[in-house]
Homo-oligomer: A and B are copies of this chain.
Amino acid sequence: MSLSLYDVSIPTFLHSLRSLKAILEKAVAHAEARKFDANVFASMRLYPDMLPLARQIQIASDAAKGAAARLSGTEPPKFEDTETTMAELIARVNKTIDYLEGFKPQQFDGDDNRIITVKTPRTSLNFKAVDFVRHWALPNFFFHVTTTYALLRHGGVEIGKLDYLGPIPQT
């Protein structure tokens, strides 16, 4: 058997975004139980010059949707990055899940070594598609999901690694 670029990207994003959504919902419940405003979490940072939780989620969303668009040769939808509340951030995760669910595996077919270009503010990067997935898209995505988890743990939310990993299909 063999795997496609779809197999090793979209199911991973979807699985992890669903875990992220559940984690954000736990953070909201945590705040409600303690009668403080859950939206305080949205602007929390792990360190003064690190990005706040809202940006972590926006970038995780962008990493997933940008990868899906680039690998399928389509244009990603523009999300405006205006979320400031937990409800809006959960909606952002949902919107990303809906977008990813719209892809079919065959849209990702093609040469695994085809060139994927990523434009950053300073430069333009050209990766082989397989390197783009394993060395850019996935590490970036997990970086921001894990940092969100770390921020919420640091903020006292009672979550554990199993919340991060989510319910993995068993045989």
Residues of A bordering B, CB below 8 Å: 1-5, 7-8, 11-12, 15-16, 46-47, 50, 111-113, 115, 125-128, 130-131, 133-136, 138-140, 142-143, 146-147, 149-150, 153-154, 161, 164-166, 168-171
A131 partner, pick from B131, B150, B169, beta carbons under 8 A: B169
Measured CB to CB, the nearest residue on chain B to A118 is B168
Cα distance A125–B113 in the bound complex, in angstroms: 34
* A112 touches which of B1, B140, B171 (Cβ 8 Å): B1
A170 contacts which of B125, B149, B161, B169 (Cβ < 8 Å)? B125
- Smallest distance from the beta carbon of A89 to chain B beta carbons, Å? 19
Nearest-CB residue, chain B, relative to A110: B1
Chain B residues, Cβ within 8 Å of A147: 146, 150
Given contacts A46-B153, A165-B140, contact A3 B1 (CB under 8 A): no
**Residue in contact with A4 in the complex, picked from B2, B50, B111, B127, CB distance below 8 Å:** B2
27 contacts between A and B (CB under 8 A): A1-B111, A1-B113, A2-B2, A2-B3, A2-B112, A3-B5, A3-B7, A3-B130, A8-B8, A11-B134, A12-B139, A15-B134, A15-B135, A50-B153, A115-B171, A125-B168, A125-B170, A127-B171, A128-B169, A128-B171, A139-B164, A140-B161, A140-B165, A143-B149, A143-B164, A146-B146, A146-B147
